[in-house]
Structures are given as C-alpha cells and as structure tokens.
Structure 1
Amino acid sequence: MRRGVVAGGVAVVVVVGGGSALAWTAEGGEARAGNAAKLRAVAVSRGDLVDTETVDGKLTHDGVREVWAGASGVVTWAPGQGAVVKRGGTLLRVAGEPVTLMYGGSPMYRVLKNGDSGNDVRQLERNLRALGYGGLTVDEEFTAATENVVKEWQDDRGLEQTGMVDGAQVVFLDGAVQIREVKAPEGKQAVKGQPVLTVAGTRRVVRVDLDADRQDLARKGAKVSVELPGGKKVEGTISDVGEVAESTGEGQEKKTTIGVEISLGGAGTGRFDEAPVSVELESERREGVLSVPVEALLALREGGFGVEVMDGGRRLVAVEAGAFGGGRVEIAGAGIAEGVRVGVPAE
C-alpha cells in the first residue's frame, strides 16, 4: 500500500490503496472517509537512530608478511598452503635442517652466543622457557646456563649442538602464522636474504579499501556489521584506519583509497578466505531522538510531512523529519511524544 497526501481547498486528502481516501479538515479533524486504509498502530519510540552505508570488503587474515631466508641451500621440505605453524614448529627445512618459528618482535640479526647481552637474548630465553626448557634465567644475559639449554634444544631439533643460535636456525615472528604462499618449494635453492614464504597471522579480519572521500565513515573502535558469503551476519570492530591514501589506475579509472581493517573477534567465519563480504559502516548517529518507521510518513503536496495519530480516532499531524536509519525516521511536531501511536500500512 502506498500512501500520499495532497492539499486542496480546506481539506487534506490521504490517498490510500484501491483509490479510496480519507479526508481531513484544515484543522486536522476527520471530515469524511471512504474505504479507510487498513492501518496498524505503532508507538513513537525514543532511542538512538543509526544510518549506515554498505561497502565491499575482503575476508582475510591479519599481519601478511614475507619470511626471509637466513640460510642458504636446497629446500628439502616446505609446508603446504594454509598450514598453521606455532611456536617451536618448522617453517621449512634447508639442506635437511629445520628453520624454527619462535615468537618475538625483533628479528634475528646476529649470532647469539655465550657472553652476549640484549633484548634479543631475553627473547630467545623466553621462547626456550615457553617450550618447556628449564635451568635458565630469562634475562638479557646469555650465560653458560643459556648455552647448555640451547644445546639441549638443538639436540631435540636434530641440529649440531653448538650452543649458538643464528638466523639459519630461528625466525622470530609476532605469533603463530598461516602459510599463504611458498616462494621456495622443495628442490629450490634458498638464498640468504631472499623471501621464502609469505605468511599471515591466524586472526581473521576484514580489509576494506575505502574511497578516500568517504573516510569519515571509518572511525577506529566503531562497531560494524559484516555479511559473510551465504548471508550470515557477524559483528566486527574497526581496529585500524590507514593514514596514507593509495591511488590505483589512471585517468577516469583512477581511484584513491585508504585501508581499513576490521577485527571479527571470536565470530565464526567458517573456512572462507579471501572471500568478498559486505560491511555496514555507520554514517550518522542521532542519540535519544523520537522516531517512527519510515512508512508512517505522509508526504504533503505543499511540502513537508505528516503522520496519522491514532488515539481514539485518526488525525493528521504535521511533523518535521530528521535523520533516517535502519528503516526509521526521526520526527518532531506538536503533540508528538514517546508512546504516541501512529499508523503504518497493515501488511
């Protein structure tokens, strides 16, 4: 049912489905009625009104990066795409010897040995302790005790027991990783200083390349709704908004965007990877306003809007329409208050 309002003479006519009409006097009283529109009453409610815009995104993993070889030689084993490697696990084997993943924010940039000191020593010792090796103090000093534990670890890994650790044996990354691409498969020569793997973190995120002129839609910490393939909707939080715009294409095809990352927390996303998704971003929020369903609005011919108030009768009340969002519209007008019942077309 589609309703419109026209003004003529001293009456306002509300046109309803099937050509029937309701007539209203200029003072808002009911003058006559034909086949009255079938309406149901809904209450004016007070609350936040949120408008959204939908943009395209991609379901992926966080922390995509390349792993560089610290050893030279023929790759004798490499993990499969999609495999997850955790602390103490093998990233690949070069000349038969494992390259082990350990957690840390600093790369392995030197040979660690007895007598060395620094944060990288603490990082190594923290990993050895987490892997179950005792007999050492986690600090910044590489002592004889540290050397003995390193030899024990090397023995368990099938490495020569030198008591020294370098980049051919250990790669430090932020945490567990998922293998995205094997750049040096079995049989290929690994060259020191060249990428051998592309990995990502295990946390699922959504990435959006947002048009730069719409960047006000993305606010760090804001909640969003993500529609996954198949129609399932999950809640996400904007965890990062890029500060540098990137341009692609040329001429009329040129596009300038900023990167937006959305964390999905513990939301179930299935096995989808690199799948397209839709993201609803909040474009406007009005707090504590009076609103009604959009279909309650009647457009007046002379301009403006009205609603039918159903309080023992049916009378037309002119209102001012404000923000729209979620199928509702903000309204204000004489006698419009929380709980007032207005008419919307019955289904």
Structure 2
Amino acid sequence: MTRPLDTEERPPGTADGHPRTAQGAPVRRRRALLALVAGCLVFTGAGMGAGLLIKSPAQAAAETAPPSPDVLTAPVTRKVLAQSVLTRGTVSASRHIDITGGQAGGAGRSIVTAVKVRPGQALRPGQVLVEISGRPVFVLRGDIPSYEDLTPGLRGNDVAQLQRALASLGYGTGSDAPGVYGAGTGRAVARFYAAIGYTPAGSARTDSGAAGSEPAGSGSGSGSGSGSAEQPGPSVPWSEVVYLPAGAARVDIVAAQVGAEATDTLMSVDSGPLTVAGTVTPDEKGLVRPGQQVRISSETTGYDTTGVVASVATAPGKAGAGGDAAADDGTYAIRVTPSRQLPAGLVGQDVRLTIVAASSGKAVPAVPSAALSAGADGRTTVTVRSGNRERQVAVRVGMTGDGYVQVTPLSAGGLRPGDQVVLGTDAPTAPGRS
C-alpha cells in the first residue's frame, strides 16, 4: 500500500497535490489593483470632505467680512428752492366776543329764562342766543357794537347799521332815510320781533334838549337825537342785540344756565373771517415776517390752501397785531390770513402751516446738502461719480431750502444737471451681525 506524501514532499506548484493553473497570478494582481483604486478614492473623498469642513483663518475671515459698501449718489437738479418754517396752528374766527347779561330784561332782576344755542353751533343773523327775564338777546350783522337803545326819532350810524341788518333779513325800512329811525324802521323792527316770537319794546325816548331848538332826531354821528318830543313806537334796547361782523359765526362757550342770575358772562361767540393762530420758536421768529406766503394744510380733512402771515408778536407770549397771545413757553404768536375763506368745518381744528421764509424765485442748480464737503483749504466741493470714476468739483454755495443747496461750479462745465454726486456710502451689515 502506497503512503501519501507529506507537504514537504509534494511537487512544486501544488498546494494540495494538484497542479496550479496559469490564471491564478493575474487574478491576484487585478484584485490588488482594485483595492488600491478603492483606497485612493476613499482617501480622496475624505480629503475633500475635510477641505469643506476645515477652513483656514484667512478663509474664515474672508467669508465673514461684510460686502463692499455701496456708493450712494443723487443727481444734480434744477429746482426752485424755498426755505420753509413748519409749525402748527388752530383755525378760529378773527373776533372773540363775550356776551354779558347787561340790563336785559328791564329794571327787574336779570334771570336766565332760556338758553337757545349750544357750544360749537353755527350762528345766523337774527338768531336768538339766550332769553333773560323773558326778553331775547339776538345777533345781527354789523361792526359797531350796540351801546344805546334805538328808538323812533334817532339818527346816526348805529341806526343805519340796524336798518341794513333788518333789510338783509328781508325787513325793509320803507321810505326812511339811511340813519334815520322813522316809521318804516319801526315797522321793520316790529316785523322782525314778531318773526322771532317776541314783542318789541315800546318805550318812548325823551331827549333833554330845549324844546323847539331843532327838529326831533336832528343830531348826527353819535346816534342821539335832539328835541323834547316823546316819540313812542317799537324800539330796540341796546342789551337785546349783539352785532357780529361779516363772516362765519360760531358759539364758543355757553356758561348761561336757566334760573341763574344773568350778571356774568353768559357765553362767548367767535365771528368774522376765519384765520389761523400759531406760534414760532425764537430761532424761527427771525425768519418769519408779515406778508410771507403760507401753505395751510389740514391732515384731517385733506383741505389745502394758501395764505399770508398777517402778524408776528414782538415778544414771547404776547399777541401780534390782531393775533392771539402765545403760550407762556417762550414762543411767539403769529396770525395767518387765508387767501380765501376757509370752510366753517375747520373751526377749532389743528392745521399744518408751511411758511415760505425765502425763495430763489427761479429754478437753480441744486444738490442735496449731504453732497457738500468742506476741505482744509476752505473750499466747498462735491464729488461727481461716473461709472467707477470720481472727481471733485469746487462749487460756490447759494441759498438752502427743503434739504437742497444751490451750487454754482467754479469752473465752467464742471457740473451739469443730471450728473451723479456722491452722498456717502451704505455699508451693509456683516453676516451673522446685527
């Protein structure tokens, strides 16, 4: 029986006693090559990943740095420059009248028996305001305040005013001459009183002049007649009429209460054309003068119109000519007269006043004030930018207004309308910063 050979005794080229094939070596080489390529790919990918995750300090600083700043520019324009003062004002009537009880109601006690109006109410000529001891106090159109009883036989400007007021309400005075209280005026008075629901006073007037010295009522100017003849007829007691000038009239304050003594101020009335009362600071006061143009704007209603400065106070806290007093805060009162009648609905409203303190009068070359630079040599320049190129242009500065400055280049052709001038730079915020 034959004995198997030991390993050491096997022929070369065999592992298990069988001869090797010729293909074994190339297979091993291919496998080794594939393993090498795979390893290279793995290490390459790892390197690339590490490169994405790991940054040098320089690269990190570059990526977190803010973008390059943008250059802000504005064009050179031609425009009319206006130096303006902005303030606020309140719309009110040009005249404020306090109405007191006076001697209304006759010789007895003066008691408020009726209140016919309310605060804020618009008034019309002939309207009754209040009743005192059963007698009316009404308004008529006129500029002369009531100061004496108007009775038959009187002559004067106050009589003429009464006649005009009655005629405007449709109560003609017949053949009575202007300023003469005759029978026609008496009939007009009676008709008016009847229309408002009252009986006119029928008191007679006896003048103390010598009998026969002159015909009754021949006096002039003061409204007093002369002569001793008693002339009864419808009359108008001075305490029963309140004359208001032309224009809108409105009840401001009502203090009267039914049953109270009519001794103090019963109510106040605003009348006459509407104006605007405002104030300016001490710094602005030197820029504002009577006659300057004003833009009046109501943000509430959208109403917009023009006017002029009518008066400027000479001292803080005091009124200008015909104006209201300013508050005791160091400001100066101003009064603005509108160029046309303001709507009655604006009474009491706060409005914006834009006062044109100065104007160039015509279109001039102008740039935003931020475009100007002052050099160490005292010259004023602007920087003109075209593409990425910049050049400085020396200019002479004129008037300023509304954020713009008039500029004139010192060299011909150095600055033209449409040129872009540098205002500054806009540096964006760096990423991750606030």
Task: Determine if contact 1:234/1:267 at 8 Å carries over to the other structure.
Answer: no
- Matched ranges for 1:95-106 at <5 A: 95-106=133-144
Q: 1:309: how far off?
A: 7.1
CA deviation string 1:45-96 (max 9, x = no partner): 2x53211232343343432221233414222322111011111111212233
Residue of structure 1 in register with 2:236 after alignment:
165
Q: 1:244: how far off?
A: 4.8
Q: List structure 1 runs of 4+ shifted beyond 6 angstroms.
A: none
- Separation in 1 of the partners of 2:184 and 2:344? 46
Residue of structure 2 in register with 1:63 after alignment:
95
- Give unmatched runs, 5+ long, in structure 1: 1-16, 21-35
- Matched ranges for 1:1-347 at <5 A: 19=68, 37=71, 42=75, 44-45=77-78, 48-70=80-102, 71-72=104-105, 73-78=110-115, 79-134=117-172, 135-137=174-176, 139-161=178-200, 162=202, 163-175=234-246, 176-191=248-263, 194-201=264-271, 203-211=273-281, 214-230=284-300, 232=302, 234-247=304-317, 255-264=329-338, 265-266=340-341, 273-275=348-350, 277-288=351-362, 290-294=364-368, 297-299=371-373, 301-302=375-376, 303=378, 304-308=380-384, 315-333=391-409, 334-336=411-413, 340-344=417-421
* Greater fraction strand: 1
My pick for the range that moved more, 109-118 or 281-290, is 281-290
- Separation in 2 of the partners of 1:76 and 1:121? 29
My pick for the range that moved more, 181-190 or 107-116, is 181-190
Q: 1:118: how far off?
A: 0.5
Task: Give the structure with higher Rg (CA).
Answer: 2
Residue of structure 2 in register with 1:13 after alignment:
none
Task: Determine if contact 2:76/2:421 at 8 Å carries over to the other structure.
Answer: no
- Separation in 1 of the partners of 2:383 and 2:301? 35
- Give unmatched runs, 5+ long, in structure 2: 1-65, 203-233, 319-326, 427-434
* Greater fraction helix: 2
Residue of structure 1 in register with 2:216 after alignment:
none
SS at match of 1:341: coil
Q: 1:131: how far off?
A: 0.8
CA deviation string 1:140-194 (max 9, x = no partner): 1111222222222222233324211112321112134211101212232213xx4
Amino acid at match of 1:238: V
Amino acid at match of 1:279: L
Q: 1:201 to 1:322 in 2, by over 3 A?
A: same
Number of residue pairs the alignment of both structures matches: 306
CA deviation string 1:85-110 (max 9, x = no partner): 11111121223332121111111111
Amino acid at match of 2:356: E
Q: 1:138 to 1:325 in 2, by over 3 A?
A: farther
SS at match of 2:354: strand
Q: 1:38: how far off?
A: 7.3
Task: Determine if contact 1:307/1:342 at 8 Å carries over to the other structure.
Answer: no
Q: 1:219: how far off?
A: 2.4
Q: Identity over aligned residues, as a percent?
A: 22
SS at match of 2:95: coil
Q: 1:301 to 1:242 in 2, by over 3 A?
A: closer
Task: Determine if contact 1:178/1:202 at 8 Å carries over to the other structure.
Answer: no
CA deviation string 1:272-319 (max 9, x = no partner): 7253x44332333333463223067252554522242769x8643221
- Separation in 2 of the partners of 1:129 and 1:345? 70
Give RMSD over aligned pairs: 3.5
Q: 1:335: how far off?
A: 2.3
Higher RCO (C-alpha 8 Å, min separation 6): 1
Q: TM-score, normalised by structure 2?
A: 0.61
My pick for the range that moved more, 76-85 or 61-70, is 61-70
- Separation in 2 of the partners of 1:336 and 1:269? 55
Q: 1:124: how far off?
A: 0.3
SS at match of 2:112: strand
Q: 1:256: how far off?
A: 4.2
- Separation in 1 of the partners of 2:99 and 2:291? 30
Q: TM-score, normalised by structure 1?
A: 0.74
- Separation in 2 of the partners of 1:254 and 1:171? 32
Task: Determine if contact 2:91/2:346 at 8 Å carries over to the other structure.
Answer: no
- Separation in 2 of the partners of 1:154 and 1:337? 81
SS at match of 2:194: helix
SS at match of 1:221: coil
Residue of structure 2 in register with 1:29 after alignment:
none
Residue of structure 2 in register with 1:11 after alignment:
none
